[in-house]
Amino acid sequence: MDKDTFAASRRRLHLSVKQCAAALDVSPRTLRAWESGRDPIPPGVADDLAALMQWPAPPHASDSNPSPRKRENYQERVKPE
């Protein structure tokens, strides 16, 4: 997943950087680094973002490299500001 797709997906979910970072179990700084292209987005993050969006991950998302982050209860962890 490239940085532009990642950022567009977060905006489509109507999540702030802070909310999305909490849902993905990373710091807001890490999320900003992914969106700016400073750091590469790990392969498992595409799966996590797809789980947030409740639709299948893109075909290039690797099943052999699952994300170590928790996938359950995203909606409970994301609260409007």
Decide if pLDDT at 70 tops 50: no
- Going by pLDDT thresholds of 50, 70 and 90, the confidence category of residue 63 is very low
End-to-end CA gap in the chain: 27
**Domain coverage including residue 39:** 1-54
Q: Look at the chain and report how many structural domains it folds into.
A: 1
Query: Mean of the pLDDT values across residues 31-53?
Result: 90
Q: The dihedral of CA 61, 62, 65, 71: what is its sign?
A: positive
pLDDT of residue 62: 43
Decide if pLDDT at 38 tops 70: yes
Q: What percent of the chain has pLDDT over 70?
A: 67
Residue 25 belongs to a domain with what CATH number?
1.10.260.40
* Tokens, residue 31: 């999320």
Are 36 and 3 in contact by the 8 Å Cβ rule? The answer is yes
Establish if 35 belongs to a structural domain: yes
pLDDT in tens, 4-29: 999 999 999 888 999 999 989 999 99
